[in-house]
Amino acid sequence: MKKISYFLAIMFCFLAFSPAVNAAGLSKDKEETELSPEDEARLEEMKARVDEIKSMDLSELSKDERKEVREELRGMKKEAKAMGDGIYLSVGAIIVILLILILVT
| pLDDT, tens digit (0-9, with 9 covering 90-100), for 31-89 | 556 777 888 888 888 889 889 988 888 888 899 999 998 999 999 888 877 776 555 66
pTM: 0.46
Give 83's contacts (C-beta < 8 A, 6+ positions apart).
35, 39, 42, 43
Secondary structure (H, E, C), the chain = CHHHHHHHHHHHHHHHHHHHHHHHHHHHHCCCCCCCHHHHHHHHHHHHHHHHHHHCCHHHCCHHHHHHHHHHHHHHHHHHHHHHCCCCCCHHHHHHHHHHHHHHC
Task: Give the model's pLDDT for residue 17.
Answer: 61
Task: Give the model's pLDDT for residue 87.
Answer: 58
Task: Give the model's pLDDT for residue 68.
Answer: 92
